[in-house]
């Protein structure tokens, strides 16, 4: 299942995702001629940075959210294309030198299929570089959202709810990559815990993207109350004496080649 996001709001609320992504892009040491696929490109900011680095290459960004792709399209140019596409449906064949993904693949449940499709999309000698959420990520948000879903006022909306995220441990994911048959694989964890400067910054991140898969299940009449509960409890749980708000961000990093 995929979700709709507000690409413009996300663009303003995604400082930390952009920081992680810029670090990942710098590590790629691109030569300028590569063909690059960005899985879950969101508002396209990082995809555009990739395109800047491959003036003689080509970059395609895919995302399932029309709202995200609408925001991304404004950045498209000769060597940069954006497509509305579910990652689970991609069927590229030997088309890319690099498959890149930042802050997205915890939304994809079956990584056995994902890695098979990525392997097929890569040319001989191609490589992948992912960073996504792993075990222990967003522990405060998890605690509060579980609490909210169990409240009498909202519980009926979540009776058949399945968590939209896959956040494995390093060991678990290492086994998945090993089974994929990709070469030169490295999987490592990263503690990227951080402080939001104030409650407003954290609330923007709660709104886009974190709350989206939960709020969509609640009736319009009760959406406001649900959001208000989550925001209030998150501030209670995470705000420090100096006004900043703390959250755990635990990442899985993956590198592999064909
Ligand atoms: C947190 S955003 C990351 C966006 C961008 N990579 C960045 O780092 O700013 C996650 C993105 O993954 C996209 N996404 C989630 N599941 C997807 C799927 N199955 N297929 C395509 N895109 C998906 C969402 O629409 C969203 O734009």
- Could you tell me the distance, in angstroms and rounded to a whole number, from the CA of residue 64 to the centre of ligand 1? 7
Spans of the chain below 50 pLDDT: none
Helix 170-180 vs helix 111-121: crossing angle, to nearest 10: 50
153 CA distance to ligand 1 middle (Å): 30
**Cβ < 6 Å from ligand 1: which residues?**
2, 5, 14, 17-18, 21, 40-42, 46, 63-65, 68, 86-88, 102-104, 107-108, 209
Contacts of 72 (CB under 8 A, 6+ apart): 7, 41, 42, 43, 44, 47, 61, 63, 82
Q: What is the DSSP string of 243-258?
A: S-EEE--EEEEEEEE-
The rounded Å distance from CA 38 to ligand 1 centre is 10
In the chain, what are the domains? 7-257 (3.40.50.150)
Which residues, in sequence order, are bridge partners of residue 39? 62
Cβ burial of 125 (10 Å; 0-12, 13-18, 19+) is exposed
Query: Which residue CA neighbors atom 13 of ligand 1 most closely?
Result: 40
Q: From the alpha carbon of 87, which atom of ligand 1 is closest?
A: 20
Pocket test for ligand 1, best of 7, 40, 251 (most atoms within 8 A of CB): 40
Structure token pair of residue 172: 């678990």
The reported pLDDT for the residue numbered 1 is 80
In this structure, how many other beta carbons lie within 10 angstroms of the beta carbon of residue 248? 16
Mutate to test the pocket of ligand 1, among 99, 107, 167 (most ligand atoms within 8 A of CB): 107
Q: What is the pLDDT of residue 83?
A: 98
Let me know: does 98 contact 34? Beta carbons within 8 Å.
yes
Tell which atom from ligand 1 comes closest to the C-alpha of 21: 8
Nearest atom within ligand 1 for CA of residue 88: 19
First to last CA, the chain: 29
Please list the residues that pair with 66 across neighbouring strands: none
Residue 43 confidence (pLDDT) = 98
Give CA separation, 13 vs 18, 43, 148, 201, 208, in Å: 10, 11, 23, 7, 7
List pLDDT tens digits, range 23-51. 999 999 999 999 999 999 999 999 999 99
Distance 63 CA to ligand 1 centre (A): 6
- Dihedral pair phi/psi, residue 80, rounded to 5°: -140, 115
**Shortest CA distance to 58 belongs to which of 84, 28, 79?**
79
Pick from 45, 104, 251 the residue to mutate for probing ligand 1's pocket: most ligand atoms within 8 Å of its CB: 104
Pairing state between β 183-191 and 250-257: antiparallel
pTM: 0.95
Tokens 């441990």 found at: 169
Give the integer Cα–Cα distance in Å for 97 and 29. Answer: 13
């Amino acid at each position: 299942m995929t979700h709709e996001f507000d690409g413009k709001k996300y663009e303003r609320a995604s400082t930390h995702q952009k920081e992680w992504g810029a670090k990942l892009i710098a590590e790629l040491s691109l030569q300028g001629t590569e063909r690059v696929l960005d899985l879950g490109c969101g508002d396209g900011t990082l995809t555009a940075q990739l395109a800047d680095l491959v003036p003689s290459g080509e970059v395609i960004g895919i995302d399932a959210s029309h709202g995200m792709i609408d925001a991304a399209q404004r950045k498209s140019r000769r060597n940069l294309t954006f497509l509305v596409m579910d990652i689970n449906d991609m069927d590229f064949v030997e088309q890319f030198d690099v498959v890149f993904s930042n802050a997205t693949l915890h939304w994809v449940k079956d990584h056995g299929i994902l890695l098979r499709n990525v392997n097929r999309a890569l040319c001989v000698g191609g490589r992948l570089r992912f960073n996504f959420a792993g075990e222990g990520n967003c522990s405060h948000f998890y605690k509060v959202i579980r609490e909210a879903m169990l409240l009498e006022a909202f519980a009926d909306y979540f009776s058949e709810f399945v968590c939209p995220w896959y956040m494995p441990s390093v060991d678990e994911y290492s086994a998945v990559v090993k089974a994929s048959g990709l070469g030169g694989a490295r999987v490592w964890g990263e503690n990227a815990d951080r402080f939001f400067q104030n409650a407003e910054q954290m609330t923007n991140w709660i709104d886009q993207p974190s709350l989206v898969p939960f709020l969509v299940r609640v009736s319009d009449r009760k959406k406001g109350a649900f959001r208000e509960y989550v925001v209030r409890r998150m501030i209670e749980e995470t705000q420090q004496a100096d006004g900043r708000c703390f959250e755990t961000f635990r990442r899985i990093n993956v590198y592999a080649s064909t």
